[in-house]
């Protein structure tokens, strides 16, 4: 949603609504001894009724039930969301405070058009994170600035806990809904709903004789038994113009090797763009 909308950010009241749900979810994970380690906007999904879901626990870590505290020694999250202690190369760090930092980065991104830290390379990015020097845009309210600064404190000991976050004025205030909300894309015509075909995926689409078909570009493939769209004009191709087994992909000029899967008319054969 952030990438698709024109503003590239949420209005503060809408970010507040999502952030409250994020803290609820994170508190539950921590209560179960789970450190997410990769909180970021891309790992937060929304249902149609605006319920936020925390996803992608692929790098998360479950604390031992007999552990004395939340100390962890590894982190495999996205570089832009890493905390200063990780960027500085510390051997161990508080797992809960790592997630709090990532929530601060996420809230910053929700309310602005960028992340608080940047760098031309990973090393420069980590140097900037380790310094914990950033600026908060003036358009944010003072209460929001206080919360963000509390979550992005350089020292983990000075960083807010979830209980501290709940006590901040920005979190506790009731923000009225306004008319400038960013709407969820709802039509298949929106690029957010389009499928993407990676270049190496074409190797999985083989012809009947086991040879990969020759494509004119990496994102074009001829499919059958489905509604297809002309690459040039976007007009739908009638599904009855093809009789193709998906396991036996057809390409122009190779119809002879597909006696059981030939188009009814060569003129009707068009390309489907998977993007």
Residue % of the chain over a pLDDT of 90: 57
pLDDT at 204: 54
pLDDT single digits (tens) 42-72:
999 998 889 999 999 999 999 999 999 999 9
Tell which wins on pLDDT, 199 or 133: 133
The closest of 9, 2, 17, 8 to 170, measured between CA atoms, is: 17
Global pTM value: 0.69
Residue 206's CB: how many other CB atoms inside 10 A? 14
Query: At residue 215, does pLDDT exceed 90?
Result: no
**How much is the pLDDT for 42?**
93
Name all domains of the chain by residue range, CATH numbers in brackets.
Answer: 12-172 (1.10.510.10), 195-275 (no CATH)
Residue 247 pLDDT greater than 50, yes or no = no
With 0-12 / 13-18 / 19 or more C-beta atoms within 10 angstroms meaning exposed / middle / buried, residue 108 is buried
Residue showing tokens 């937060």: 44
Question: What pLDDT sits at residue 189?
Answer: 58
SS (H, E, C) 142-193: HHHHHHHHHHCCCCCCCCCCHHHHHHCHHHHCCCCCCCCCCCCCCCCCCHHH
- pLDDT, tens only, 148-195: 999 999 999 999 999 999 999 999 998 777 777 888 776 555 555 554
In the predicted model, what is the mean pLDDT of residues 254-264? 41
Q: Indicate which residues carry an active-site annotation.
A: 38
pLDDT attached to residue 238: 44
Residue 13: its pLDDT value, please? 93
Name the nearest CA neighbour of 180 among 59, 36, 26, 10: 10
Contact 109, 36 (CB under 8 A): no
The answer to whether 1 touches 184, Cβ cutoff 8 Å, is yes
pLDDT of residue 211: 53
């Amino acid at each position: 949603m952030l990438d698709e909308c024109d503003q590239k950010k949420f209005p503060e009241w809408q970010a507040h609504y999502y952030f409250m749900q994020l803290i609820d979810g994170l508190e539950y994970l921590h209560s179960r001894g789970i450190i997410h380690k990769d909180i970021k906007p891309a790992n937060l999904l929304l249902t149609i009724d605006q319920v936020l879901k925390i996803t992608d626990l692929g790098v998360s870590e479950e604390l031992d039930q007999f552990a004395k505290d939340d100390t962890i020694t590894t982190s495999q999250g996205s570089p832009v969301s890493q905390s200063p202690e990780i960027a500085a190369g510390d051997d161990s760090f508080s797992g809960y405070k790592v997630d709090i930092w990532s929530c601060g980065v996420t809230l910053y991104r929700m309310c602005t058009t960028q992340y608080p830290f940047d760098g031309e390379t990973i090393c420069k990015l980590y140097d900037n994170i380790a310094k914990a020097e950033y600026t908060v845009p003036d358009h944010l309210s003072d209460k929001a600035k206080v919360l963000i600064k509390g979550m992005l404190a350089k020292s983990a000991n000075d960083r807010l806990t979830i209980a501290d976050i709940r006590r901040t004025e920005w979190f506790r205030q009731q923000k009225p809904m306004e008319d400038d909300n960013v709407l969820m894309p709802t039509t298949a015509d929106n690029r957010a709903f389009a499928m993407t075909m990676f270049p190496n995926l074409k190797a999985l689409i083989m012809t009947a004789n086991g040879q990969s078909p020759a494509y004119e570009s990496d994102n074009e493939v001829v499919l059958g038994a489905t509604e297809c769209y002309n690459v040039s004009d976007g007009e739908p191709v009638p599904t009855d113009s093809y009789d193709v087994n998906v396991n036996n992909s057809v390409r122009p000029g190779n119809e002879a090797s597909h006696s059981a899967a030939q188009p009814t008319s060569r003129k009707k054969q068009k390309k489907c763009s998977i993007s």
